[in-house]
Chains A and B, each alone.
Chain A
Amino acid sequence: AQSVTQPDIHITVSEGASLELRCNYSYGATPYLFWYVQSPGQGLQLLLKYFSGDTLVQGIKGFEAEFKRSQSSFNLRKPSVHWSDAAEYFCAVAYNDYKLSFGAGTTVTVRA
Chain B
Amino acid sequence: DVKVTQSSRYLVKRTGEKVFLECVQDMDHENMFWYRQDPGLGLRLIYFSYDVKMKEKGDIPEGYSVSREKKERFSLILESASTNQTSMYLCASSLAGLNEKLFFGSGTQLSVL
Task: Give chain B residues whose Cβ lies under 8 Å from the Cβ of A101.
Answer: 45, 59
Interface size, chain B (Cβ < 8 Å): 26
Is A14 an interface position by the 8 A CB rule? no
List CB contacts (< 8 Å) of B55-113 with chain A.
Answer: 56, 58-59, 90, 92, 98-99, 101-107
Selected from B31, B56, B90, B99, the residue in CB contact (under 8 A) with A44 is B90
Interface size range on A against B: 20 to 34
Q: In the complex, which residue of chain A has the Cβ closest to the Cβ of B30?
A: A98
List CB contacts (< 8 Å) of A5-56 with chain B.
Answer: 6, 9, 32, 34, 36, 41-46, 49, 51
Is B41 an interface position by the 8 A CB rule? yes
Given contacts A41-B106, A43-B4, A43-B107, contact A90 B43 (CB under 8 A): yes
Task: Give chain B residues whose Cβ lies under 8 Å from the Cβ of A99.
Answer: 45, 48, 58
Q: Is the CB of B104 within 8 A of A44?
A: yes
Q: Is the CB of A43 within 8 A of B40?
A: no
What residues of chain A have their CB less than 8 Å away from a CB belonging to chain B? 4, 6, 9, 32, 34, 36, 41-46, 49, 51, 90, 92, 94, 96-105
